[in-house]
Structures are given as structure tokens and as C-alpha cells.
Amino acid sequence: METSGIVLVAGATGGVGRRGVAALRKKGLPVRVLVRNEEKARKMLGPDVDLIVGDITKESTLVPDYFKGVRRVINAVSVIVGPKEGDTPDRQKYSQGIKFFEPEIKGDSPEKVEYIGIRNLIKAVKGSVGLQNGKLLFGFEDNNYRELAWGALDDVVMGGVSESTFQIDPNGGENGGPTGIFKGVVSTANNGGFTSIRTKNLSTAEDLSAYDGLELRLKGDSRRYKLIVRTSRDWDTVGYTAGFDTVGDQWQTVRVPFSSLKPIFRARTVSDAPPFDPSNIVSLQLMFSKFEYDGKLNPTFVEGAFKVRTRRFCRSYPT
């Protein structure tokens, strides 16, 4: 963990949070805590503790300015549970550790804390932890570059004759910068009609659950392409797919919200596929095809040469 930047511990007055604060302090890391009860926090964590008083279920209490300087967040907030029968002043049943007492929720519901609360917390911290900029999955951005192993995947696999390549041009991109060029010749001969490039499976799946979608920066040729995202390591499997239109010979930013991805297998919608899981992104594919889905055709499709330059695939943007 980097030593500059503050680590925020949410739920620092709980059993786990308190231990987390102690461990971070022991490492000499700067800590800020998010607590509901200031008095309880100062008593437990020391009078000088750097704190934000807030309740994650109440968005208005989480003012983004309070989170300035925070680079990492440890969430130890939890739905409060306790024994159904309640504790007595002299006997804290949960601390006895001998008998199991039937628990019940004592405060806000799991939906309010774990879903709405965590969403509010992410929204409040994302500016300071850098989520606002998205994460680079592939491509060139400022001084960053991330490469992925792309390979051509054309209709040759089913007897067609289309062909494509993907190459990096160090100077052919926006403002003379580097770019990746996906180009080729597509043909409908032998019942073919598609070309694509697909990455190898990522060695570690990308967890993009804090984001809304993928953003592409590209220069196309007025044709419609498809972005396909896979969440399985299997080769021949459902691809979560969205089509997008390109403007001819002009750099543009295309946003593909995760909510717009449809589960497609061999150009057909899979109605019983599991919902798209943004926490487990395993591979990406960019396709130019005659086919849309479920028998529909791509209205912009023409046989012959095509070309799209891509500068980046970026993970999401703020909501």
C-alpha cells in the first residue's frame, strides 16, 4: 500500500473497524475515520482522531470535500445485528461466545446499508480516490499505456474469407500520438461476413463494479461495430454485446454503459443468461459484422475494406 494519501476506515467504531484503525496506525499510515457517533469514536480511537461524522445511508451527510486526500477506503460498516432477546447490562450475550442466540437486525436494513449506503460512499469518495478518471484497460492516455494481447478472429473459423489485423502505429493516432489500428477486408463469400479482434483472457479478471461502463476513444469509418465483453474463461461462450456507430474519419468518444450489454451467443440473444457481472471481466472483442442479433442485419455493413483506430478502452465514467 502506498504510504502517501489517507486511508479512510468507514465503520471504525465496530469490532473490525477498530482493529483496522489500530493496524494502519501501527504501520504509520495516515488514517481518517467515518463514524456516526463522534463521542463514541473519540473515546474509542483517541481524542485527536481525524474524523468525518456521517451516516452512509444519508447521502447529504457525506460531503465529498470531507474526503479530500483519501486514497484508499476500508469499509467495515455493517448492518447492526444483536440477539433477539436483547442484552442485559451485566450480560452481553454476543460476548459470551458459548451459546448461539437467535440474531435480529437492530438498525437499518441490509438494502439500506449494503446497497444504498455503499453506493453513497463510493459516490462521495470517488473524486479523491481517482475513480472519476476511470481505469485504463487498453490503450494510450497521457503518459500511460496498457497493452493487451489481441488476436484476429474472423469468419474464416466457419469457412469465410474475411481477414483482419490489429497493429500499433506509434504516430498515427490523435495529435500524432500512438494508436491501435483494427483493419481488414470483410467478405460475405461462403456465408461469412464478420471480422473481429479479441484479447486473450486477462490473467486476473478486471473488477469494474465501481464503474458504469466502458469508454472508447476511436476514429472510425461511419460503420457500426460491436463491443463484446466476456465474463467467462471459456472460449465459446456468451458475449455481453453492444453495437455502436462510428463517425467517418473523426475522433470520437463512445460510451457503452454496462446496462446496455446484451447476452449474445453466435448472434442470438440468450434469454436465460446470467446478468452481466462487471466485477469479473475476462476478455474484450471488437467486431465488424454483417449481422446484428436475432436475424437482424447491420445497416451500415458493406463488403470490402474497413478501418478503425482506437486510442483507448477505458473503464467507466462518473454517474
Q: Is 16 in the site for ligand NAP (CB under 6 A)?
A: yes
Q: Which is closer to ligand NAP, CB of 9 or CB of 238?
A: 9
Q: Is 113 in the site for ligand NAP (CB under 6 A)?
A: yes
Piece of 49-57, 85-93, 123-131, 257-265 that binds ligand NAP (CB under 6 A): 49-57
Piece of 1-9, 11-19, 175-183, 261-269 that binds ligand NAP (CB under 6 A): 11-19
Q: Which is closer to ligand NAP, CB of 11 or CB of 192?
A: 11
Q: How many secondary structure helices (H) and strands (E) does the chain include? A: 5, 20
Q: Which is closer to ligand NAP, CB of 53 or CB of 302?
A: 53
Single residue of 23, 27, 37, 222 touching ligand NAP by CB under 6 A: 37
Ramachandran region, residue 119 (left: φ > 0; alpha: ψ -120 to 50; beta: rest): alpha
Single residue of 87, 108, 163, 303 touching ligand NAP by CB under 6 A: 108
Q: Is 118 in the site for ligand NAP (CB under 6 A)?
A: no
Q: Is 80 in the site for ligand NAP (CB under 6 A)?
A: yes
Which pairs from 243-249 meet CB under 8 Å and 24+ separation? 243/292, 243/298, 244/216, 245/300, 246/218, 246/219, 246/220, 246/221, 246/222, 246/308, 247/220, 247/222, 248/220, 248/221, 248/222, 249/219, 249/220, 249/221
Q: Which is closer to ligand NAP, CB of 17 or CB of 239?
A: 17
Name which of 124, 132, 19 is nearest 73 in CA terms.
Answer: 124
Q: Using DSSP bridges, classify how beta strands 51-53 and 31-35 pair: parallel, antiparallel or unpaired.
A: parallel
Single residue of 13, 128, 196, 199 touching ligand NAP by CB under 6 A: 13
Tell me the backbone φ, ψ of residue 304, rounded to 5 degrees.
115, -155
What is the grid cell recorded at 88?
442485559
Write down the least CB distance from residue 110 to ligand NAP, Å. Answer: 10
Q: Is 36 in the site for ligand NAP (CB under 6 A)?
A: yes
Q: Is 117 in the site for ligand NAP (CB under 6 A)?
A: yes
Q: Which is closer to ligand NAP, CB of 52 or CB of 256?
A: 52
User: CA 94: distance to chain centroid?
Assistant: 37
DSSP 229: E
Nearest-CB residue for ligand NAP: 14
Helix pair angle (15-26, 38-45), 10° resolution: 50
Residue partners of 151: CB distance under 8 A and separation at least 6? 166, 197, 198, 199, 200
Amino acid at 226: K
Contact 65, 52 (CB under 8 A): no
Piece of 73-81, 131-139, 180-188, 275-283 that binds ligand NAP (CB under 6 A): 73-81
Piece of 71-79, 150-158, 212-220, 233-241 that binds ligand NAP (CB under 6 A): 71-79
Q: Which is closer to ligand NAP, CB of 106 or CB of 233?
A: 106
Write down the least CB distance from residue 82 to ligand NAP, Å. Answer: 9
Single residue of 6, 62, 77, 256 touching ligand NAP by CB under 6 A: 77
Number of residues that bind ligand NAP (CB under 6 A): 19
The C-alpha atoms of residue 108 and residue 237 are separated, in whole angstroms, by 40
Q: Which is closer to ligand NAP, CB of 118 or CB of 129?
A: 118
User: Which spans of this chain sit near ligand NAP (rule: CB under 6 A)?
Assistant: 11, 13-17, 36-37, 40, 55-57, 76-78, 80, 108, 113, 117
